Structure 1
């Protein structure tokens, strides 16, 4: 399943009126994977890492952002999935 198909299937509340342009949304997962590979956390990604999934005319609710990070990791760097899931469990987001 492609990343955009996974986002569509997840039916995130933030994208009820339409999923952001694939090019815009697709920029985030490789950057998340790179940062995770450097030892950063999901909280860092969505905070001081300035990698929160948002565009010029679209945004993502925090709960959906957590799920979006997980979907991106599953598609782009699945070896990081275990660590991301563990962190999301600690945050009560998974």
Structure 2
């Protein structure tokens, strides 16, 4: 256990020198886990942004491809969700 904002010892579950009397001691292991969790969330966010970018680039390429029928391109533009786009691409032999 440690006091997160000040260099102080814990007295029970409170920081001994904290004058306001409401600074709670924190479990260092829990803080370490939360820091690792935050780092994983940041990595996950980066991966999701890269996936979206990749998806956007691929869809852009497909929409500009003259070998893809215009009806299919128009259907992709108006598709409700990713599953609908995937189904259109599979049905038309693009995937």
TM-score (norm 1): 0.24
**Structure number with larger C-alpha Rg:** 2
Please state which structure has a larger fraction of its residues in strand: 2
Structure number with the bigger relative contact order (C-alpha 8 A, sep ≥ 6) is: 1
TM-score (norm 2): 0.24
Please state which structure has a larger fraction of its residues in helix: 1
